[in-house]
């Protein structure tokens, strides 16, 4: 497939999980991909290796998306390596189950800085790097912004804020020929969710979620990546300001 051939994509938080799946899917469709990571250099380099082994182009670049100076350096690397940007995917995110009685300001600020401030800083910096033809900005939100799971008030609030930012910026950036959409995954099996012990294979929670999902299974990074690739391509030229819940029908 080559519907993204000749285009450059930046995927934040792409060293594992959904971000890694998105980076590999965009590369498989012909895009040159900047694989951003915060701390997992080995994971990011593994993603790059898989892309290049399949004949694609990719480079791993470190940056903390909640740090404006890091973000500026990230885009300088994008420019020097692949030129103007065409596709931006904001996938970097953090979460922690925390009942309200255990709320700490530190955790609140950590999640909002990465999940909400981060994408806004990245989008702001990206405006000087898109080409004259504009491009596509895709935020990775969460089904939690609608399902509101107990124990995730901070996370759900940060992702609901990202939904709002998506719609606002779709209007604000349309004159620049920039489309802004969000893909909000549901329960998805990835390295991150496995490490957090959220959806143990065969666990009661996994069985419950599968039973509640009309399509009858857990999501995978590949499921989300294909939706992102659609939004990155010309096939979605008439879509902006959309918040797409890629949840297998889970409400």
In a domain, 29, yes or no: yes
Considering only CA atoms, which of 187, 149, 179 is closest in space to residue 86? 179
- In the prediction, which pLDDT does 191 show? 66
In a domain, 250, yes or no: no
Helix, coil or strand: residue 113: helix
Q: Which residue from 243, 225, 214 is spatially nearest to 144, judged by alpha carbons? A: 243
CA–chain centroid gap for 154, Å, is 18
Per the domain annotation, does 107 fall within a domain?
Answer: yes
Q: Domain range holding 206?
A: 8-245
**Contact call for residues 115 and 140 (beta carbons, < 8 A):** no
Low-confidence ranges of the chain (pLDDT < 70): 1, 191-203
In a domain, 3, yes or no: no
Dist. CA 217–CA 215, nearest whole Å: 6
pTM of the model: 0.94
Which helix H or strand E contains 162, and what residues bound it?
helix 153-173
Residue range 139-170, pLDDT digits in tens: 999 999 998 989 999 999 999 999 999 999 99
1 found inside a domain: no
Q: How many independent structural domains does the chain possess?
A: 1
103 to 113, 137, 196: CA distances (angstroms) = 16, 32, 18
- E-strand ranges in 14-132 read 32-37, 58-62, 87-90
Residue 2 lies in a domain: no
Which of 138, 131, 199 lies closest to 14 in space, CA to CA?
Answer: 138
**What is the structure's pLDDT at 206?**
78
Collect contacts of 188-195 with beta carbons under 8 A, ≥24 apart: 188/17, 188/18, 188/218, 188/219, 188/220, 188/221, 188/223, 188/224, 189/218, 189/219, 189/220, 190/16, 190/17, 190/18, 190/21, 190/220, 190/221, 191/16, 191/17, 191/43, 192/16, 192/17, 193/17
Q: Find the CATH number of the domain harbouring 195.
A: 3.40.50.720
Helix (H) / strand (E) containing 8: strand 8-11
> Which helix (H) or strand (E) element contains residue 243?
strand 243-246
Residue 80 has what pLDDT?
A: 97
Residue 26 lies in a domain: yes
Q: Answer yes or no: are the C-beta atoms of 29 and 3 closer than 8 Å.
A: yes
Give residue 1's pLDDT. 63
Catalytic center residues: 155
Give pLDDT, residue 113: 98
Query: What does the pLDDT read at residue 193?
Result: 58
Does any domain span residue 153? yes
């Amino acid at each position: 497939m080559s519907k993204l051939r000749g285009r450059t994509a930046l995927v934040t938080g792409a060293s594992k999980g959904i971000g890694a799946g998105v980076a590999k899917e965009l590369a498989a469709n012909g895009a040159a991909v900047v694989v951003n990571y915060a701390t997992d250099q080995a994971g990011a380099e593994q993603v790059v290796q898989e892309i290049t082994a399949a004949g694609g182009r990719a480079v791993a670049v470190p940056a903390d998306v909640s740090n404006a100076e890091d973000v500026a350096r990230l885009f300088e690397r994008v420019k020097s390596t692949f030129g103007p940007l065409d596709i931006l995917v904001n996938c970097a995110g953090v979460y922690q189950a925390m009942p309200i009685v255990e709320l700490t300001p530190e955790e609140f600020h950590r999640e909002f800085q990465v999940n909400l401030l981060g994408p806004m800083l990245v989008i702001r910096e990206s405006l000087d790097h898109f080409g004259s033809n504009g491009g596509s900005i895709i935020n990775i939100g969460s089904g939690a912004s609608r399902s509101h799971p107990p124990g995730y008030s901070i996370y759900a609030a940060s992702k609901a804020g990202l939904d709002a930012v998506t719609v606002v910026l779709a209007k604000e950036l349309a004159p620049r020929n920039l489309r802004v959409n969000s893909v909000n995954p549901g329960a998805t099996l990835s390295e991150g969710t496995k490490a957090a012990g959220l959806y143990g294979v065969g666990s009661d929670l996994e069985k419950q979620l599968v039973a509640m999902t009309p399509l009858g299974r857990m999501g995978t990074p590949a499921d989300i990546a294909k939706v992102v690739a659609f939004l990155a391509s010309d096939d979605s030229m008439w879509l902006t300001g959309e918040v797409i819940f890629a949840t297998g029908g889970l409400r």
